[in-house]
Amino acid sequence: MTTGSGKWAAVKPVRGFRLGTAMAGISKPGRRDLVVMNWDKGSSVAGVFTLNRFCAAPVHLSRERLSGDPRYFLINTGNANAGTGEQGMAAARQTSLALATLSGVHEWQVLPFSTGVIGEPLPVNTLCAALPAALSDLQEDNWLSAAEGIMTTDTRPKGSSREFAHEGTRYTVSGISKGAGMIKPNMGTMLAYIATDAAVAPAFLQNLLLDITNQSFNRITIDGDTSTNDSFMVVATGAAGNDVITSCDSPLAGKLKENLRAVAVELARAIVRDGEGASKFVTVKVEQAASHQDALDVAYTVAHSPLVKTALYASDPNWGRILAAIGRADIPELMIDRVSIWLGDTAIVDRGQPAAGYTEEAGQKVMNQEEILIRISLGAGHCTEEIWTTDLSHGYIKINAEYRT
């Protein structure tokens, strides 16, 4: 798994799930930019996708094909195949058909995914020419190569694993993700793939995925931009040989959900830690809200404020920016005389007024840290939510200004 320092630690192989990569030269020569994933027949597959209405051609196809009997994921980086109209749809179909023909499955059993520059034609011939190499590379312990193969502006691969035991059987949950900018999943460019060797019914796996997504990838934001290509997929191979899990009413289901969530959260937080130009990892936690939506509205308003984000980058304890962001959140019943704010453990606002005893030195000490907690109490109810975000630096502007050059 990735660590706080970004160092890669081995991701555990998952029985019945294989990954292969190739250097197709889709965007840059000499780098892995094509990934194929395959799993045993009879596995269950679940997925969630971006809600951006300009979603990419591969997202359209993968949504349509998810309810069938998928056997392969086909992923390319360097080109998003988004905003490409009918040409893009034809390209996605052509590449997935090429993989299906080579591997002996039906075209609709291949789910394509793309990430990279929007609006440029997918180089179909270049991609298809590399498929045999990716297929010949399929193996269960290829997680690092696959994590590198789906990167765009990421500075490091992102992976996570968990193992747990139940009634004498060991289970594995492993996954990878990519993303560093255009990140505010709403289910920038975010892709995530998790596999487990547990046997899980497809309908229950989809329900698990929806719940886990809302606790992980739907709680991160770098810049507030929801990508055209966001996708999060989970495969359960059943290679562990357990009775098929069909509901949450069993100890095994509970353990599986706990470990799936742990992997998803770690992958989501790894995206934030690798945010474009980011120098700080920031948790925004909103407590005592009247509803979960109110808590999220306040958290995202603070996290997306350019003034708050630039203050974080400058390590400037200008807490008035946080206060102003809370005040403009879409919370009609917000009672400002009940709002309290903390930077870490340092109280800066107490029931709508400057906290007694607050000093600039205390605020500065918190803002100098690489990991910062902004805690907000609305004093209106019992709901709590937290999201993870970054600061906004010169580096973010440079990376995105020079993205295509």
Give pLDDT, residue 392: 81
User: What is the tens place of the pLDDT at every residue in 21-78?
Assistant: 999 999 788 899 999 999 999 999 999 998 777 788 999 999 999 999 999 999 999 9
pLDDT averaged over every residue in the chain? 90
Of the CA atoms within 13 Å of residue 17, those in its CB half-sphere come to 31
User: What is the tens place of the pLDDT at every residue in 107-142?
Assistant: 999 999 999 888 999 999 999 999 999 999 999 999
Least confident of 22-36, 184-198, 269-283: 184-198
User: What is the tens place of the pLDDT at every residue in 282-318?
Assistant: 999 999 999 999 999 999 999 989 899 999 999 999 8
- pLDDT of residue 225 exceeding 60, the answer is no
Give pLDDT, residue 58: 94
269: which 2 tokens? 């937080």
User: What is the tens place of the pLDDT at every residue in 309-368?
Assistant: 999 999 999 899 999 999 999 898 899 999 999 999 999 999 999 999 999 999 999 999
392: which 2 tokens? 């906004």
Tell me the mean pLDDT in the region 250-263.
97
Q: How confident is the model at residue 172 (pLDDT cuts 50, 70, 90)?
A: very high
Give pLDDT, residue 399: 59
Catalytic status, residue 50: no
Q: Are residues 304 and 312 in contact, defined by beta-carbon separation less than 8 angstroms?
A: no
303: which 2 tokens? 């996290």
Instruction: Give the DSSP per-residue string, 74-143.
Output: EEEEEE---S-HHHHHHHHHHHHHHHHHHHTS-GGGEEEEEEEETTS---HHHHHHTHHHHHHT-BTT-H
- pLDDT of residue 207 exceeding 50, the answer is yes
Q: Are residues 267 and 3 in contact, defined by beta-carbon separation less than 8 angstroms?
A: no
User: Which one-letter DSSP state was computed for residue 352?
Assistant: T
- Of 16, 332, 68, the closest CA to residue 198 belongs to 16
Q: Are residues 223 and 183 in contact, defined by beta-carbon separation less than 8 angstroms?
A: yes
Query: For residues 142 and 181, which has the higher predicted lDDT (pLDDT)?
Result: 142
Q: How confident is the model at residue 6 (pLDDT cuts 50, 70, 90)?
A: low
What is the Cα–Cα distance from 92 to 94, expressed in whole angstroms?
5
Strands 110-117 and 34-39: unpaired
What is the Cα–Cα distance from 180 to 221, expressed in whole angstroms?
10
What is the Cα–Cα distance from 163 to 79, expressed in whole angstroms?
34
Q: How confident is the model at residue 402 (pLDDT cuts 50, 70, 90)?
A: low
Using the Cα atoms of residue 102, residue 108, residue 111 and residue 116 in order, give the sign of their dihedral.
positive
Query: For residues 400 and 35, which has the higher predicted lDDT (pLDDT)?
Result: 35
- pLDDT of residue 187 exceeding 50, the answer is no
Tell me the mean pLDDT in the region 166-191.
76
Tell me the mean pLDDT in the region 162-166.
97
Using the Cα atoms of residue 395, residue 222, residue 272 and residue 343 in order, give the sign of their dihedral.
positive
Enclosing H/E stretch for 154: none
CA distances from 365 to 20, 215, 286, 302, 373 (A): 47, 30, 22, 20, 12
pTM, entire model: 0.88
- Of 330, 334, 312, the closest CA to residue 321 belongs to 312
- Of 338, 337, 341, 314, the closest CA to residue 325 belongs to 341
Locate all alpha helices (DSSP H) within 3-78, ordered by sequence. Answer: 57-65
The one catalytic residue among 95, 152, 172, 189: 189
Domains of the chain: 17-273 (3.60.70.12), 281-401 (3.10.20.340)
Tell me the mean pLDDT in the region 201-209.
96
What is the Cα–Cα distance from 378 to 74, expressed in whole angstroms?
45
